[in-house]
Amino acid sequence: MAITIVVGNFKGGVGKTKVSVMASWELAMARGKKVLLVDMDPQGNASTLIARSTGVTEINTSIFEGFQNGSLKECIVEVTDNLHMIPAQVSFKNFPKFLYANVKEEIDQVSYLKKLLDPIRDEYDYIFIDVPPTISDFSDNAMMAADYVLIILQAQELSLEGAETYIKYLQFMADNYDADIQVAGVLPVLLRPGGRVDMSTIERAKEMFGEDNVMESVIKHLERLKAWDVTGITDNDMHDRKAHQVFLDVIDELEEKLAQFEEAGKYE
């Protein structure tokens, strides 16, 4: 049964998509796990990056088709044996309209993705969901479908904005819809070139999310990661290897944490 993870923060451009894609990529390519990456963002950035990285020139299916057909099976793109993706396209912006027109109960509206993922969960070790930075039907559905959230923390900012909002939202979803989602970790990300990890932010994050939840791995600012938006993910030289290593460290720490949570969960 797959462990389903959403990468969250309600701020734009903090690296959510990069982390979702690279965590999926490394788990599948370097660790031999079966991974499904679900693109829940009509911008389709994750889909584009995966397609560009694997020579897929045309994607002619979309998660929205699956939603309209009531099954996601037909819109899975098997990028490699281990890495599968459900892509998104701009038309997916009409998802809220579709939901309100076709699904009556509020609880069923927020649980639509969950319902459609359930029949395919057994086929994967991990399912990652990439979401837009808005509080919306997209993020609500991702939250209801996920077992864990990996929260992105902008480590060089003096505020926990985005990550803080996320915690309030988790509480709201738990109160209103019985969402059952656990924080897998809080991952510091540096987006400014030359930015340093702000230790006071890390300390505040530890107070807020719990000492053990703030991850030791840090996503540094690496120009190569930006370059991959254009070239696709490569593995040709030292800079590529350095960029891959950043995410290998993240997934190894994440897998360790998840194993502990899953073990503890068995005895609850």
Q: Which stretch binds ligand ATP (CB under 6 A): 53-61, 94-102, 203-211, 220-228?
A: 220-228
Half-sphere exposure at residue 174, Cβ-oriented, CA atoms within 13 angstroms: 11
Could you count the other beta carbons within 10 Å of the beta carbon of residue 145?
25
Nearest residue (CB) to Mg ion, 9 versus 109: 9
Nearest residue (CB) to ligand ATP, 34 versus 93: 93
| Smallest distance from ligand ATP to CB 13, Å | 4
Q: How far apart are the first and last CA of the chain?
A: 18
Interface with ligand ATP (CB under 6 A), residue total 18
User: Do the beta carbons of residue 112 and residue 99 sit within 8 Å?
Assistant: yes
Burial code of 244-259, b = ≥16 C-beta within 10 A, e = fewer? bebbbbbbeebbebbe
| Smallest distance from Mg ion to CB 20, Å | 8
Residue 17 as a binder of Mg ion (CB under 5 A): the answer is yes
Residue 134 as a binder of ligand ATP (CB under 6 A): the answer is no
| Smallest distance from ligand ATP to CB 170, Å | 18
One residue of 13, 96, 119, 210 binding ligand ATP per CB under 6 A: 13
Could you count the other beta carbons within 10 Å of the beta carbon of residue 167?
17
Structure-token pair, residue 250 = 């993240």
| Smallest distance from Mg ion to CB 16, Å | 5
One residue of 44, 66, 133, 162 binding ligand ATP per CB under 6 A: 133
- By three-state DSSP, how is residue 156 classified? coil
Q: Which stretch binds Mg ion (CB under 5 A): 38-46, 55-63, 168-176, 237-245?
A: 38-46
CA neighbor of 18 nearest in space, from 220, 236, 201: 220
